[in-house]
Each structure stands twice: as structure tokens, then as C-alpha cells.
């Protein structure tokens, strides 16, 4: 699938051009001919002979940006001063910072915020440890923990390279839920070291958000931390994705008039996200599911079943289908992909049942080209922002943690995740639901508050069916 110009690859080119003549119109013409899009053109300085202008251009990728810069350089009498990648400019010096909530304007304020006054607060917490949530940032803080082993779609790129992603995550926590989140990038991929490190850091936080840790290690890390800690542990790659998928599927099924308990669901991907989606869908009533990985359908007769795949084999594929993904998609009502790009074609989607639902969530290239899927499916969703129905985890995790922190929850349960999904689905009003609107925008003002309220209410009863 050919990529299209995107703001994530936008550049700003500073050019010096003659004050008169057709230079400006030539610039726009050259950019458009090269497949770019001019999104802004600003005069930086003006003189009698020359103008210095900043041209902002959306491009497809780094190579495309370089090609456009070269084309601009070829315009007669136009001189390039510099080319700035706007995404890199945003990241200069990092995207987050710590700010004091209290003024420190004089000696009195300093003596209360720090020594000697702070000693009284410390002694009060030592006498009553429960006061730590009332008197410190613990009540509103989350650790975003990664080992850099499965970052976005980039793979095992390490803790330093993971830091910009974790910073972004922390920024989203603050923007959408007012939560103070801190990137914790660990220079180890040893399960025991990860668990122990998070355990000894936990007293400063009200929750742990595990992020971009590769499967199957992530399952053990999460399980052990849940046993050790008295604060909620949430693996966003699993549970955030699962919440968004269930919410979107709830509304997609309303569009086509089908019920989750009677549809046939085929899934591609049996890793962290796929396993969590499966468990939440089954908790919500799904009964007929076949899960495929790179070897084909997961079934009891396979000789490579680890603990996670064994659970999938025991709880799905009752008919024992042992073929490939294309065969599993045939006659299915729903396809959910969290796997790899380009593994299905439009012809495969055509073999699904009438009014099929397709969630092709691999990023940036989906399992099937969305335009091809739309020719045969009633509802199509992706993880991309340039198509309708973007399934994005930012719809879930800020509100989920807001609810968990407000409830002072100590565990994350399937009931909480299901409540979050139901609340997210209900943000889309019944009169708004349609094939191209089954999930709200991440900027919808009600998303985080609705999800938080649902999680807070579900946490009140402390149900113990852990996620």
C-alpha cells in the first residue's frame, strides 16, 4: 500500500527567493509535482531584493523529504538555508518536564516544602503509611516501564531508543487524564531483574504501566508484579488494545445487527495483544473464535504450545481447524489482526460472511489494504490516523489509570476492562454510529472521563477475576 504525505514526516525549508517574479508559485508547483503537500508558507524576513520564507511540507518518508529538498534546490535563483524535520524539532530536549506545584518564593516557603518542615510530613507517613497517597505524588503518579525489547513496530531497539516513546506516553497521560507519569527505561531484558527493579521502585507510584516488553516475557513480568505489588499493573500493549478492540467491535456489531455470542471471529496474532483481546472478547461473550499465528491456526494438536498458546488452544477452535489464516477467514463474521502487514488480500475478505467486520491493526501497514477490505466488508478499522475508525490505545489508558488511581485500586480486573470498553463504546451516541464511526476520536472531550468513571465504579466492588 503506497504511503501518503503525513505530518509525522513534515519538514520546514527556509529559502531565500527573489522579492519579485514567480519564485513562490514555482516552489508550490515543484513540491506538488514531487508528491508533497505545502501546508504553510510564511515570510520570515522581507527586503527589497529578496524574501526569506519558511515552507512547511508534508512528505511520505525521509527519502521523499530529501527528494523534495533537492527539487527545490533546482529552482533558479532559489537558495536553501536549512531544512528542519519538524518531528525532530518537537523532540529536542525531550517532551516532558517536572514542575513544582507549590511556590518557593522565600525562606518560609522553602522551610515548609523542604527542611525542616518536610520532616514532620515524613514522620507522619512513617507512623501511618497509608498517608503516603494523601501527602505525596503517589496518589497521581504512574511509572511507564519498558526494557526496549518491542518498541512500536521497530522491534528490540533498546532502552535509550525507547525513551522518546515513553516520554510521549507520559505526555499523553498528562494531556488526557492529568496524571503525572514517568518514563522508566531499564537497561536489562532479564525477567528477574525487571521484576525486582519495578518492585523496589513501586513505593513512589500509584500504578505501573508496562510498555513495549516483548512476548512471552511480558506475561511473566506482569503476572509476577501483580503478585508482588499492592498497586495496579497494566500492560498497555495487552489491555489497552483489548479495551479499544472490544469497544469498537461492540459498535461495529450494532452497525451490522449481529451479536458477539453468535459471530465467528478469526484472529491473526497470538502474542501479547492477541491474547489479551481474546480473553476480553470471551469475557464479553464471544464463543466461536479461531486464533492464528505465523504457523497457522492454534489448535490442541500442535507440538509447539507454550503456556500462552496452550491456553488459547484449550479455549478456542472447538472444531480443531488446523489450516492457515486464509482458510480460517473463510465464512468468518469478524477478522481481528494484530500481527503482520499484507497477510490477507481483498479476495480473502470476500470469502467472509455477509456484513463482515475487519479490524486490520498492524501498524503502519495493516494486514490487508483498507481500500481492498472496504470493497467486501461492511465495517473496516485500522490503527492508522489517515483512515476512519482508528483504534488507538490513547482512547483507553489515560482514563483507565485515572479511574484506578481515584479508586486507589490494587489490581486490574477483566470486569474493569470490560467496563472501560463499554464506556468507550457509549461515547459514540446511537444516532452517530455508522460504518465509518464506531470509535470516538482521541480528542473527544468525554473519552477519558467516561472511561475513568466506569473503571472507578467497577473497582469499588473489587471483583477478583484478574485481567
Looking at the DSSP bridge assignments, the partners of residue 325 are none
Calpha distance 251→248 (Å, rounded): 5
Residue of 9, 138, 169, 258 marked active site: 169
Comparing CA positions, the residue from 282, 263, 280, 260 lying closest to residue 272 is 280
In the numeric block, which cell numbers belong to residue 186?
531499564
Contact between 359 and 336 (Cβ < 8 Å): yes
Contact 260, 286 (CB under 8 A): yes
Q: Residue 300 catalytic?
A: no
Instruction: State yes or no: is 114 an active-site residue.
Output: yes
Active-site annotation holder among 79, 95, 114, 294 = 114
CA distance 205 to 234: 13
Q: How far apart are CA 298 and CA 143, in angstroms?
A: 34
Beta strands in 106-263 (DSSP E): 141-146, 180-185, 207-210, 233-235
The 10 Å Cβ neighbour count of residue 230 is: 9
- DSSP 8-state assignment for residue 151: B
- Read off the C-alpha cell for 321: 481447524
Phi, psi at residue 26, to the nearest 5°?
Answer: -65, -40
Helix (H) or strand (E) holding 53: strand 50-59
Burial class of residue 97 (count of CB atoms within 10 Å of its CB; 0-12, 13-18, 19+): exposed
Instruction: List residues bridging with 120 in a β-sheet.
Output: none
- For Cα atoms 369, 374, 375, give the angle at the middle one, nearest 5 degrees: 105
**Which of 233, 205, 198 shows the shortest CA–CA distance to 219?**
233
List, by residue number, the catalytic residues. Answer: 114, 169
Amino acid at each position: 500500500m503506497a504511503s501518503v504525505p503525513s505530518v509525522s514526516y513534515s519538514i520546514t525549508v527556509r529559502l531565500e527567493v527573489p522579492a519579485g517574479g514567480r519564485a513562490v508559485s514555482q516552489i508550490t508547483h515543484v513540491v506538488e509535482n514531487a508528491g508533497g503537500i505545502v501546508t504553510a508558507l510564511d515570510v520570515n524576513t522581507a527586503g527589497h531584493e529578496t524574501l526569506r520564507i519558511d515552507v512547511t511540507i508534508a512528505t511520505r518518508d525521509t527519502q521523499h523529504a530529501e527528494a523534495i529538498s533537492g527539487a527545490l534546490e533546482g529552482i533558479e535563483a532559489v537558495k536553501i538555508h536549512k531544512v528542519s524535520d519538524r518531528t525532530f524539532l518537537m523532540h529536542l530536549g525531550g517532551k516532558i518536564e517536572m514542575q513544582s506545584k507549590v511556590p518557593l518564593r522565600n525562606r518560609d516557603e522553602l522551610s515548609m516544602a523542604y527542611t525542616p518542615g518536610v520532616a514532620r510530613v515524613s514522620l507522619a507517613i512513617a507512623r501511618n503509611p497509608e498517608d503516603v497517597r494523601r501527602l505525596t505524588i503517589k496518589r497521581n503518579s504512574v511509572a511507564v516501564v519498558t526494557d526496549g525489547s518491542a518498541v512500536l513496530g521497530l522491534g528490540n531497539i533498546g532502552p535509550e531508543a525507547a525513551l522518546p516513546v515513553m516520554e510521549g506516553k507520559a505526555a499523553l497521560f498528562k494531556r488526557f487524564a492529568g496524571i503525572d507519569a514517568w518514563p522508566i527505561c531499564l537497561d536489562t531484558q532479564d525477567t528477574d531483574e525487571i521484576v525486582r527493579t519495578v518492585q523496589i521502585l513501586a513505593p513512589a507510584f500509584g500504578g505501573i504501566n508496562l510498555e513495549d516488553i516483548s512476548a512471552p516475557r511480558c506475561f511473566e513480568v506482569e503476572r509476577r508484579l501483580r503478585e508482588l505489588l499492592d498497586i495496579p499493573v497494566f500492560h498497555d500493549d495487552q489491555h489497552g488494545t483489548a479495551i479499544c478492540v472490544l469497544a469498537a467491535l461492540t459498535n461495529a456489531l450494532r452497525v451490522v445487527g449481529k451479536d458477539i455470542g453468535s459471530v465467528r471471529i478469526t484472529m491473526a496474532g497470538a502474542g501479547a495483544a492477541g491474547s489479551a483481546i481474546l480473553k476480553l472478547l470471551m469475557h464479553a461473550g464471544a464463543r466461536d473464535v479461531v486464533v492464528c499465528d505465523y504457523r497457522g491456526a492454534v489448535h490442541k494438536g500442535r507440538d509447539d504450545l507454550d503456556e500462552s498458546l496452550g491456553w488459547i488452544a484449550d479455549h478456542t477452535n472447538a472444531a480443531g481447524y488446523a489450516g492457515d489464516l486464509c482458510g480460517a477467514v473463510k465464512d468468518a463474521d469478524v477478522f481481528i489482526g494484530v500481527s503482520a502487514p499484507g497477510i490477507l488480500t481483498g479476495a480473502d475478505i470476500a470469502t467472509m460472511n455477509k456484513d463482515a467486520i475487519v479490524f486490520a491493526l498492524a501498524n503502519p501497514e495493516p494486514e490487508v489494504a483498507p481500500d481492498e477490505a472496504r470493497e467486501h466488508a461492511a465495517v473496516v478499522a485500522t490503527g492508522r490516523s489517515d483512515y476512519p475508525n482508528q483504534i488507538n490505545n490513547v482512547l483507553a489508558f489515560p482514563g483507565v489509570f485515572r479511574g484506578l488511581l481515584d479508586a486507589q485500586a490494587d489490581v486490574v480486573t477483566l470486569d474493569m476492562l470490560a467496563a472501560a470498553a463499554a464506556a468507550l463504546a457509549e461515547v459514540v451516541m446511537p444516532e452517530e454510529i455508522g460504518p465509518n464511526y464506531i470509535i470516538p476520536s482521541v480528542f473527544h472531550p468525554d473519552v477519558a472521563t467516561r472511561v475513568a468513571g466506569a473503571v472507578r465504579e467497577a473497582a469499588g466492588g473489587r471483583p477478583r477475576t484478574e485481567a
